[in-house]
A = this chain, B = another copy of it.
Amino acid sequence: MPRRDLPIGVFDSGIGGLTVLAALRARLPRESFTYLGDTARVPYGTKTPETVRRYAEQVTRRLVSEGVKMLVIACNTASAHALPTLRLAYAAPGREIPVEGVVEPGVRAALALTRGGGIAVAATEGTVRAGAYQEALRRLAPGVRVEARACPLFVALAEEGWTAGDVASLTARLYLADLPATGVDTLVLGCTHYPLLRGVIEGAVGPGVAVVDSAVATADAVAASLEAAGLLRPPGAAPPTVRFQVTDGPERFARVGSLFLAEPIPEVSLVDL
């Protein structure tokens, strides 16, 4: 199979990365994808950086052994802790498999949107503590004011399907409603679960704060990266395929995941890493 016909490997600790896959499919409708959710070891956010790196390397090794032309780390925790290691191992000459994470695309999109006010990042406790968004923002725009907010309830709300309604709105207001008053004009959704709650989040911060979905920004970065490498599938190629693999609980993945992907997930294989 010509290299450009290979699928793009997308991985996450669980189901959240499916919002990134949804954005990728919308942006790159001719591409094939292999998604691997490490559901046996989810969540990564509460684990140590060394453990997350080891898990990410195992998942990546598996995807690469199956044949992928590019890797997308559709997980904030793994992007924060494992992206440099994985780039070094796979993107280097000899292998030339581009590797993209979700942090830097989200940060670049936020910097393009801000009107000079502060930028806030809403994320899980683990991502806030890891500090990857704060670090990337300060590196790319040293003067920018950065605020990180942990919103742990959002993951449970998204997985429960409570993405609108009183509980979701009230929770979003408790976490984020004071952001405009602090001068923030841009909010990055730094967790792959949060795009499902975009409506209540926008409601909580009001029209003066632009909300950036990292998944969409990541899809743009992946498209640019494939184009630069001459790896886009050409028009008229065979219909693309999408495969799903998990390390535990394929049935729950299919059921809850379809909310995240916004389409049914017909078949999920169980893999052992």
Interface residues of A (CB under 8 A from B): 39-42, 46-48, 51, 125, 152-153, 155-157, 159-160, 162, 166-167, 170-171, 174, 248-249, 252
In the complex, 8 of the A-B residue pairs with CB atoms within 8 angstroms, ordered by the A residue number, are A39-B46, A46-B252, A47-B249, A51-B248, A153-B153, A153-B162, A167-B170, A167-B171
Residues of B within 8 Å of A47, CB to CB, are: 40, 248-249
Complexed CA–CA distance, A109 and B160 (Å): 30
Copies in the complex: 2
**Complex alpha-carbon distance, A153 and B125, angstroms:** 16
Which chain B residues lie closer than 8 Å to A48 at the CB level? Answer: 248-249
Q: How far apart are the CA atoms of A171 and B160 in the complex, in Å? A: 12
Q: Is the pair B153, A46 in contact by a Cβ cutoff of 8 Å?
A: no
Report the bound CA distance from A197 to B155 in whole Å: 19
| Residues of chain B lying within 8 A (CB to CB) of residue A171 | 167
CB distance from A31 to the nearest CB of B (A): 30
